[in-house]
């Protein structure tokens, strides 16, 4: 896929995260178990640096796993503990790394021709392209445009899994396509960093890693 023609030019952690939606609120919550999907959360480091307003030098030019491990385990591991395949830190992080490799988001994006660019992508094009390779609908999160910016910036790509670790749609019947901060969007309490929201349909910036000027 090639980015659309420029309509303007913009200036851009391992997180594990096999997050499960502990205590998630919402109509898609499953019975008494409280959660029914796992989320593999990929971060785009250049956007993370921007989000936390840290002028990281030479951020990785590949998608990493969201989060800090100890924190992720404390925050999400307790619900993962309900699953035999994930019920220890070793299994939880080991499985996350296995999934990260199996899903190989970086090479998929490369094959799809989705590369960091000063041109913009349409969010729907990216979602459709990912859905075509994974067979399920991902969730893409963005930083909303800041002052002086025209478009949102892509920050996270989530792929959702069932408790059996099979890929599944991140959205489901009856679930709104997009929820804003302040609503009971369950991922807010789990996977999202400060400032990230479900991307709006429309153009988005996928920022190349910043050149560092020494």
Ligand X SMILES: *[C@@H]1O[C@H](CO)[C@@H](O)[C@H](O)[C@H]1NC(C)=O
Positions annotated as catalytic residues are 66, 72, 76
Residue among 37 and 42 whose Cβ is closer to ligand X: 37
Residue among 125 and 149 whose Cβ is closer to ligand X: 125
Residue 113: count other Cβ atoms within 10 Å of its Cβ: 10
Give residues 138-177 in contact with ligand X (rule: CB under 6 A). 168-169
Beta-bridge partners for 203: 122
Q: Are the C-beta atoms of residues 19 and 38 closer than 8 Å to each other? A: yes
Residues 6+ apart with CB under 8 A from 139: 39, 156, 157, 158, 160, 170, 171, 187, 198
Task: Draw the binding track, 89-128, toward ligand X (x: CB under 6 A; -: no contact).
Answer: ----------------------------------------
Cα separation, 149 vs 11, in Å, equals: 8
Residue 179, both tokens:
């929820």
Q: Are the C-beta atoms of residues 37 and 160 closer than 8 Å to each other? A: yes
Residue among 16 and 137 whose Cβ is closer to ligand X: 137
In whole angstroms, how close is the CB of 74 to ligand X at the nearest point?
A: 31
In whole angstroms, how close is the CB of 93 to ligand X at the nearest point?
A: 27
Contact pick of 17, 105, 137, 187 for ligand X (by CB under 6 A): 137
Binding-site ranges for ligand X (CB under 6 A): 137, 168-169
């Amino acid at each position: 896929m090639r980015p659309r023609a420029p309509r303007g030019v913009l200036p851009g952690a391992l997180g594990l995260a096999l997050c499960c939606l502990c205590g998630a609120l919402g109509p898609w919550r499953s019975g008494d178990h409280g959660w029914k999907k796992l989320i593999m959360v990929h971060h785009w480091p250049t956007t993370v640096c921007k989000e936390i307003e840290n002028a990281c030098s030479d951020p990785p030019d590949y998608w990493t796993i969201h989060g800090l491990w100890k924190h992720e385990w404390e925050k999400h591991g307790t619900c993962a503990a309900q699953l035999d395949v994930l019920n220890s830190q070793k299994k939880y992080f080991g499985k996350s790394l296995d999934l990260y490799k199996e899903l190989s988001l970086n090479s998929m994006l490369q094959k799809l021709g989705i590369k960091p660019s000063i041109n913009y992508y349409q969010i729907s094009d990216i979602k459709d392209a990912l859905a075509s390779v994974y067979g399920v609908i991902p969730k893409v999160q963005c930083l909303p445009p800041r002052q002086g910016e025209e478009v949102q910036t892509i920050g996270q790509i989530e792929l959702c899994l069932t408790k059996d670790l099979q890929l599944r749609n991140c959205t489901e019947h009856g679930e709104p396509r997009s929820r804003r901060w302040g609503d009971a969007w369950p991922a807010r309490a789990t996977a999202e960093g400060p400032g990230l929201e479900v991307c709006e349909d429309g153009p988005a910036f996928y920022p190349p890693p910043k050149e560092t000027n020494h």
